[in-house]
Amino acid sequence: MTTLSFAVDADGVALITLNDPSKPMNVVSPEFIDDLIAAIERVASDAAIKGAVITSGKAAFMAGADLKYIVNMIDGITPEVAYEFSQKASVPMHRRLETCGKPFVAAINGLALGGGYELALACHYRVIVDDPKAVVGLPEVTVGLLAGSGGTQRLPRMIGLEKSLPILLDGKTVGPAEALKLGMVDAVVPAADLIEAARQWILGTPDPVRAWDKKGYRIDLGLLNPANISTYANRPAQIAAQTQRNYPAPIAILSCLYDGMQQTFDNALKLESKYFAKLCVDPVARNIIRTTFVNKGEAAKLVRRPQGIDKKQFTKVGVLGAGMMGSGIAYVSATAGVNVVLLDSKQEFADKGKAYSAKVLGKLVDKGKKKQEQADAILARITPTTDYDALKGCDLVIEAVFEDRAIKADVTRQAEVQLDPSGFFASNTSTLPISGLAKASVNPAKFIGMHFFSPVDRMPLVEVIVGKDTSQETLAHALDYVGQLKMIPIVVNDSRGFYTSRVFQTFIHEGMRMLEEGIAPALIENAARQAGFPVGPLTLTDEVTVELPWKIVQQAIEELGDQFVKPCAYNVMQRMLEELKRPGRKAGKGFYEYPEGGKKFLWPGLKDAFPLAAQQPSVEEIKDRYLAIQALETARCLEEGVLTHATDGDIGSLLAWSFPTWTGGTLSYIDTVGIKQFVAECDRMAKAYGPRFEPSTWLRDRAARGEGFYPSTAHA
């Protein structure tokens, strides 16, 4: 046994301590399952053992499944293999533990989630340590799966249908006090008493038969109980509204509940495994886990950092421009323990930038998330100024002044002379190519793009842009800074709009273009939401104003002349600005009307400005069109070397502009559709909507080879 230890005390109580030395957390791995099965058999067969206490030798009890293992396992898995995987943990492990005739107690010494809490559920009694960090729950739904070793069946039988729904369907996790109130645990005790409390329960000769294994057990969780009827009737509609049917897990969980409650416990476990297998075979779980857990985790650990360069620690950073972005960057920097010099052209602007941090911190103090002393310490690290001398000795200066080349060049020259000799300069430009801005620098090797997103304190992504002359050392150190801020970096090469702005533009352009084709505005908006975008492209454009994408286009025309291909929404943007004079929300009128004090609504004049076509496309067609154009542009970024790794494209798309999570990101979407099918679809759309949908030779060749963006480990 390598993942746990086994000891028996003088009273005949076994202590099973989960402690996998190869992992920072105990997780449900194949080795663990084998080890625990062996331990259970030992308890069951040794007459000298009265029962067993299961606890952990690590700070957490158990974190659940090993998601890295799961994602590799489910990629290309067959339903049969997935079913067997679920059954192994479900039957010879948990069910055997539950029915072997000896009592088991879970002594939950720390967090117990997913498979960890399922193990606790299978035990006959649960004692938990009185520590707010010891949360319990079944959050599998958040990664597209379900609790597949008895969780969907034991929890409702223990605590009732209604109370188990937020835990199972929303993945809600709760601390010890709430868990006790809900009936998810049986006792909360101080840490020092945990094992003894568990031991005493066993020594009290408890009945090791669960309620559902007793003769005459009658379940009242089905439709015969009128209290459940509305739950079973309403929940599917609620889930459909929340997920737009893009996420199969909550529906599968609800099916497990509904069907499982009509079955014997053993049959219900088979049913649960069937639904679990169904989710494993569906690409959504793989997509979510791969991008939002595995690859995002790697990015946070700075996987793109060039090797062999000393790590840089930042103590003093300058931020130029105390507007919306600068004030946010100052806030996250000061929160990470860095002293910030926040510089603007006027002292009152710089002060206003610092006031932003005071506002955010004040809210956190009010909510009890920060202590006043902590907030004061963070605020004290920000020095608002107009004086460039204050930047002396900065490890890094981040520029976030107006999006204007001349102004940026001017502040670059003034600030970089103050940098510490080992320091470097970063621009937070959203559209201006980094290599061009670097021309203002005396040392372009020490010039890089660090593109933060708004609002900076809530958007964890930083798009790090490597200019033509940026050195590897500067890249490494820029990533060190993102790491120090505990944010998520992706690394891209210089290009117009870099990666995120470039692909995001295709979404709003496509939406605006549809108006010109006579597609109903409500359809344009609703189809985007049904595809999984938080809001439609017309809403988004109103938020950023039509002026912003228009300015980007004008700038490109100025620089590239005839070489620049006008975007498909060119006419719509021009008409909205010049003829209809509706630039967006800020002006109170855009694609929507914004009545004072009232709710916005689509501008009725749109139907005169852009007459409706007699034939309207299906919602599916519009959804596919949005997803395809963004996926295609991302593929172009990879082809051109703007992106060097598919994972950066996927992480960036989810975090920068909320490309739907179920897809796993823009490139995972292509793999989800299948690259051959995707290329065929793009060809069809190119004929219908224009050459922007035409796949490149590079993509066609890839499709011909059947080479997607992620290697798939097919299972026999």
Q: Is 391 in the site for ligand NAI (CB under 6 A)?
A: no
401 near ligand NAI, rule: CB under 6 A:
yes
- Sheet of strand 382-385, all strands in order from the earlier edge strand to the far edge: 382-385, 339-343, 316-320, 394-399, 419-427, 447-452, 461-466, 488-493
Work out how close the CB of 328 gets to ligand NAI at its nearest, in angstroms, rounded to a whole number. Answer: 8
Contacts of 280 (CB under 8 A, 6+ apart): 73, 74, 77, 79, 82, 85, 145
Q: Least distance from C-beta 54 to ligand NAI, angstroms?
A: 50
Please list, in sequence order, all residues whose beta carbon lies within 8 angstroms of the beta carbon of residue 334, skipping any fewer than 6 positions away: 340, 357, 378, 379, 381, 382
Q: Is 324 in the site for ligand NAI (CB under 6 A)?
A: yes
Please spell the DSSP secondary structure of 89-141, one letter per residue: IIIIIIIHHHHSSS-EEEEE-S-EETHHHHHHHHSSEEEEES-TT--EE-GGG
Q: Which is nearer to ligand NAI, 425 or 453 (CB)?
A: 453
Residue nearer to ligand NAI on the CB measure, 425 or 678: 425
Q: Tell me: does residue 443 bind ligand NAI (CB under 6 A).
A: no
Task: Name the residue nearer to ligand NAI (CB basis): 281 or 426.
Answer: 426
323 contacts ligand NAI (rule: CB under 6 A): yes
Least distance CB 424 / ligand NAI (angstroms): 18
| Residue of the chain from 156, 176, 326, 660 that contacts ligand NAI (CB under 6 A) | 326
- Contact between 347 and ligand NAI by CB under 6 A: the answer reads no
Integer Cα distance of 577 and 574 in angstroms? 5
Binding ligand NAI (rule: CB under 6 A), the pick from 185, 322, 479, 527 is 322
For residue 268, the one-letter residue type is: A
CA distances from 26 to 15, 52, 61 (A): 16, 19, 7
The 10 Å Cβ neighbour count of residue 348 is: 12
Residue 451 is a catalytic residue: yes
Q: Which of 451, 477, 509, 645 is catalytic?
A: 451
**Shortest distance in whole angstroms from residue 472 CB to ligand NAI:** 24
- Choose the stretch contacting ligand NAI; rule: CB under 6 A; options: 11-19, 234-242, 323-331, 513-521: 323-331
Beta-carbon contacts of residue 385 (< 8 Å; ≥ 6 apart): 341, 342, 343, 347, 350
Quick check: 548 binds ligand NAI (CB under 6 A)? no
Of 183-191, 451-459, 511-519, 554-562, the segment contacting ligand NAI by CB under 6 A is: 451-459
Compute the least distance from the CB of residue 352 to ligand NAI, in Å: 8
Of 317, 495, 546, 309, nearest in space to 419 by CA: 317
Question: Token digits for 463?
Answer: 């798009």
- One of 321, 384, 423, 537 touching ligand NAI (CB under 6 A): 321
Question: Judged by CB under 6 A, which stretch of 40-48, 78-86, 265-273, 396-404 contacts ligand NAI?
Answer: 396-404
Q: DSSP alpha helices (H): ranges in 575-696?
A: 606-609, 619-640, 646-657, 666-673, 675-689
**Least CB distance from residue 452 to ligand NAI, whole Å?**
6
Residues, the chain, total? 716
Using CB under 6 A as the binding rule, whether residue 320 contacts ligand NAI is answered as yes
The amino acid occupying position 666 is T
The dihedral sign for the CA sequence 14, 20, 24, 28: negative
The nearer residue to ligand NAI, 383 or 430, going by C-beta atoms, is: 430
What type of residue sits at position 53? V
Q: What are the tokens at 692?
A: 């922007």
One-letter identity of residue 166? P
Among 325, 375, 490, 638, binds ligand NAI (CB under 6 A): 325
- Strand runs labelled E in 522-609: 592-593, 601-602
Task: Report d(CA 188, CA 128) in Å as an integer.
Answer: 5
What span, in angstroms and rounded, lies between the C-alpha atoms of 329 and 332? 5
Q: For ligand NAI, which stretch binds (CB under 6 A), given 44-52, 144-152, 361-369, 426-434?
A: 426-434
Figure out which of the listed residues 407, 557, 587, 612 binds ligand NAI, where binding follows CB under 6 A: 407
In the complex with ligand NAI, the residue whose CB is nearer, 104 or 550, is: 550
Compare residues 83 and 452 and give the one whose CB is closer to ligand NAI.
452
Instruction: Give the separation between CA 255 and CA 575, rounded to whole angstroms.
Output: 50
Near ligand NAI by CB under 6 A: residue from 45, 315, 422, 454: 454
Inter-CA distances, 321 with 423, 442, 444, Å: 19, 21, 21
User: Using CB under 6 A as the criterion, what x/- string covers residues 327-346 for binding ligand NAI?
Assistant: ----------------xxx-
Smallest distance, ligand NAI to C-beta of residue 386, A: 8
Answer for which of 142, 255, 430, 500 binds ligand NAI (CB under 6 A) is 430
Nearer to ligand NAI among residue 275 and residue 452 (C-beta): 452
- Contact between 514 and ligand NAI per CB under 6 A: no
Residue number, nearest CB to ligand NAI: 323
Per-residue x/- track, 275-314, ligand NAI (CB under 6 A): ----------------------------------------
Q: Is 390 in the site for ligand NAI (CB under 6 A)?
A: no
Reading phi first (left if > 0) and then psi (alpha if -120 to 50, else beta), residue 12 is in left
Which residue in 123, 29, 102 sits closest to 67, CA to CA? 29
Q: How far is CA 157 from the centre of its chain?
A: 31
Closer CB to ligand NAI, residue 533 or residue 669?
533
Pick from 117, 276, 349, 709: which binds ligand NAI (CB under 6 A)? 349
Query: Beta strand pairing status for 394-399 and 316-320?
Result: parallel
Number of residues in contact with ligand NAI, rule: CB under 6 A? Answer: 25
Per CB under 6 A, the segment of 79-87, 245-253, 294-302, 448-456 that binds ligand NAI is 448-456
List beta partners, residue 28: 65
Give the C-alpha separation, 397 to 391, whole Å.
Answer: 8
Q: Judged by CB under 6 A, does residue 587 bind ligand NAI?
A: no
- Region of 25-33, 315-323, 521-529, 572-580 interacting with ligand NAI (CB under 6 A): 315-323
Q: Which of 3, 429, 505, 668 binds ligand NAI (CB under 6 A)?
A: 429
Binding of ligand NAI at residue 428 (CB under 6 A)?
yes
Rule CB under 6 A: say whether 411 interacts with ligand NAI: yes
- Comparing CB distances to ligand NAI, the nearer of 504 and 592 is 504
User: Measured from the CB atom, is 26 or 441 closer to ligand NAI?
Assistant: 441
| Burial class (CB within 10 angstroms; exposed 0-12, middle 13-18, buried 19+) of 393 | middle
Residue ranges that bind ligand NAI, judged by CB under 6 A = 320-326, 343-345, 349, 400-403, 407, 410-411, 428-430, 451-454
Active site residues: 451
